[in-house]
Chain A
């Protein structure tokens, strides 16, 4: 069966440290993978997209890696801040370019 799993339901880290979130998938061959941030009661906000032929993408304090052999993406937030506390969702195209399936999500708490 097809699965997109994010390894931790919740992750607590100290302010200033690097948060690393994992997204593993099985029985998909995505052309791209995205990461979104969602705050309680709000819609997801797009952060980064990485394509199947890319290994790494960066944007300010964010870094995403994509390993299609391991079927895994890692999402890093460096110098984490309490304002980074939110649920982070990975998403991949799961049949055609527009059909997107989200992972289970990781709730990140950055402790001051």
Chain B
């Protein structure tokens, strides 16, 4: 199984809402990533978890809160977002053994009103 799944596919939320994005992989990968991608731009790294510990936070605003409950799951909790946070949010995973091939999910399309 080489699939990374993400739910929901689409999400519309108001600036006062709290929502969560979910990501799951069953490849036994020990590193998981969150990226943000705006239209016609490349993905930008937000967070990296390695062995369920947060290893990289790219100075992301605190309205984005990541969580890694176990090695297969990654969440991104959203609170008090701004319209400029509207984007495609991509989850990825990799082996974390210096073979850094990343497997991406299909993404969650987020619209903040």
Considering residues B31, B41, B101, which has the most beta carbons from chain A within 10 angstroms of its beta carbon? B101
A46 CB → nearest B CB, Å? 5
Across the interface, do A103 and B55 meet the contact criterion of CB distance under 8 Å?
A: no
B64 interface residue (CB < 8 Å to A): no
Closest approach, in angstroms, between the C-beta of A2 and any C-beta of chain B?
13
Q: Is B15 in the interface zone, CB < 8 Å from A? A: no
Interface residue B48 (Cβ < 8 Å from any Cβ of A):
yes
Determine, out of A52-60, A78-86, A90-98, the stretch whose residues face the partner at the interface.
Answer: A90-98
Check if A98 sits within 8 Å of B42, measured CB to CB: no
Among B92, B94, B102, B103, find the residue whose CB has the most chain A CB atoms closer than 10 A: B102
Question: Taking the complex as formed, is A43 at the interface, i.e. its CB lies under 8 A from any CB of chain B?
Answer: yes
B43 CB-CB contact with A under 8 Å: yes
Query: Chain B's interface: helix, strand, loop or mixed, by majority?
Result: strand
Chain B residues contacting A49 (CB-CB under 8 Å) are 99-101
The CA-CA distance from A83 to B111 in the complex, in Å, is: 30
Q: How many residues of chain B get a CB closer than 8 Å to chain A's CBs?
A: 28
CB pair A101–B98 under 8 Å, yes or no, is no
Task: State how many angstroms separate the Cβ of B102 from the closest Cβ of chain A.
Answer: 6
Nearest-CB distance from B33 to chain A (Å)?
A: 8
Which residues of A sit under 8 angstroms from B43, Cβ to Cβ? 44, 89, 102
User: Can you list 7 residue pairs at the A/B interface with Cβ under 8 Å?
Assistant: A41-B109, A46-B101, A49-B99, A98-B48, A98-B50, A102-B42, A104-B41
The interface of chain B, by Cβ under 8 A from chain A, is: 4, 31, 33, 41-45, 48, 50, 55-56, 88, 90, 92, 94, 96, 98-107, 109
In the A-B complex, the 6 residue pairs with the smallest Cβ-Cβ separation, listed nearest first, are: A43-B104, A102-B42, A98-B48, A46-B101, A44-B104, A43-B90
